[in-house]
């Protein structure tokens, strides 16, 4: 929508920067909001439609100021490893609530909060619990907010396929459990386009939050995903089931590292299916046909 202004919090992240591009392509002006905005992610994007703002989501005054004059907002802020001053509750719960509350006060007409499939207030994972609390708080503070729940996302410079690619360098690739957990990997470009459609125009009507889940065209087990990566790279590997209890011990040991390659929250996420509920299929509701991971696998592995 021409001259519409949308604030994208977490706008330089894996998903956020793609949402920014999609919004600009639709004619929106975008405020790219991050703690330390990096302009290098936006080569080729019309500078006249971009504004970069350094904002801490924990700062009421800064958030309120950056929302001034905007019509829509996206909360794509992500935190996967806690560190001093940055807990899951700080970012995914209290931070999400702050943005929702101040967005409503500023008169915004559309807000999308990026959570994830499987958000559960009773989960053993602190990350998953915080996202569930964030969903509830956002819904209360901004009636009509879009709750966006992607499955695991893949794409250029992702974490999912990059980690699988690295793992397949080993002669034996360890699996999480038997590798039977099912997922519906969503191409990040598709998810970004969907979010841009949601906030790129005023939401029609009032009511409670709308929970939309986004998964790709193919549902795979973790074992099938690993095998597909091996095949795409021409690597014949033995796939070895490893009990989740062993992974939890390893993850806790790695927790002392500043940037651990594996966290206990990832283990909990990989212990449950990560697929879209048919009644909440966001792509279907938007009339979109998402790509499947297998169709883009070689391209993504080459790019990333």
pLDDT number for residue 41: 85
Strands 5-9 and 153-154: unpaired
Q: Which of 138, 75, 145, 77 lies closest to 110 in space, CA to CA?
A: 145
Contact 156, 300 (CB under 8 A): yes
Q: Which CA distances in Å does 154 have to 12, 188, 191?
A: 16, 6, 10
Task: Indicate whether 79 pLDDT > 70.
Answer: yes
Whole-angstrom distance, CA of residue 112 vs CA of residue 201: 12
Mean pLDDT of 13-25: 97
pLDDT band at 265 (very low <50, low <70, confident <90, very high): very high
Task: Indicate whether 32 pLDDT > 80.
Answer: yes
Contact 145, 108 (CB under 8 A): no
pLDDT band at 227 (very low <50, low <70, confident <90, very high): very high
Whole-angstrom distance, CA of residue 95 vs CA of residue 223: 36
Q: How many residues does the chain have?
A: 304
pLDDT number for residue 255: 83
Q: Which CA distances in Å does 2 have to 67, 75, 106, 110, 267?
A: 18, 22, 20, 16, 44
pLDDT band at 252 (very low <50, low <70, confident <90, very high): very high
pLDDT number for residue 75: 98
**Domains in the chain: boundaries:** 5-154+186-216+275-290
Any idea which architecture 5-154+186-216+275-290 has in CATH?
Answer: 3-Layer(aba) Sandwich (3.40)
pLDDT number for residue 80: 87
Residue in the block written with tokens 């390893």: 250
Contact 32, 98 (CB under 8 A): no
Strands 146-150 and 220-221: unpaired
Mean pLDDT of 31-53: 90
pTM: 0.94
Encode pLDDT of 94-136 as tens digits.
Answer: 999 999 999 999 999 999 999 999 999 999 999 999 999 999 9
Mean pLDDT of 248-272: 89
pLDDT number for residue 207: 57
pLDDT number for residue 37: 85
Task: Indicate whether 221 pLDDT > 60.
Answer: yes
Provide the CB-side half-sphere exposure for 100 (13 A, CA).
26
């Amino acid at each position: 929508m021409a001259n519409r202004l949308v604030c994208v919090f977490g706008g330089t992240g894996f998903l956020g920067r793609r949402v920014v591009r999609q919004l600009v392509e639709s004619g929106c002006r975008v405020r790219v909001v991050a703690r330390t905005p990096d302009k290098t992610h936006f080569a080729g994007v019309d500078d006249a439609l971009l504004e970069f703002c350094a904002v801490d989501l924990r700062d009421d005054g800064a958030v309120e100021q950056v929302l001034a004059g905007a019509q829509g907002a996206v909360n794509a802020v992500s935190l996967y490893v806690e560190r001093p001053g940055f807990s899951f509750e700080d970012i995914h719960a209290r931070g999400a609530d702050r943005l929702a509350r101040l967005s409503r006060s500023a008169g915004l007409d559309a807000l999308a909060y990026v959570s994830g499939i499987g958000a559960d207030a009773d989960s053993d994972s602190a990350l998953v619990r915080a996202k569930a609390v964030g969903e509830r708080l956002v819904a209360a503070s901004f009636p009509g907010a879009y709750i966006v729940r992607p499955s695991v996302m893949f794409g250029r410079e992702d974490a999912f396929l990059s980690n699988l690619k690295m793992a397949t360098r080993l002669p034996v690739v360890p699996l999480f459990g038997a590798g039977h957990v099912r997922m519906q990997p969503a191409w990040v470009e598709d998810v970004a386009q969907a979010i841009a459609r949601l906030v790129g125009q005023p939401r029609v009507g009032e009511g409670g939050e709308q929970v939309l889940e986004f998964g790709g065209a193919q549902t795979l087990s973790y074992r099938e995903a690993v095998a597909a990566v091996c095949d795409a790279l021409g690597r014949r590997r033995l796939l070895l089931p490893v009990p989740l209890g062993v992974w939890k011990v390893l993850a806790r040991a790695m927790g002392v590292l500043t940037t651990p390659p594996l966290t206990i929250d990832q283990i909990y996420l990989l212990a449950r299916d990560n697929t879209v509920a048919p009644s909440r299929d966001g792509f279907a509701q938007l009339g979109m046909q998402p790509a499947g991971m297998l169709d883009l696998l070689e391209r993504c592995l080459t790019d990333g």
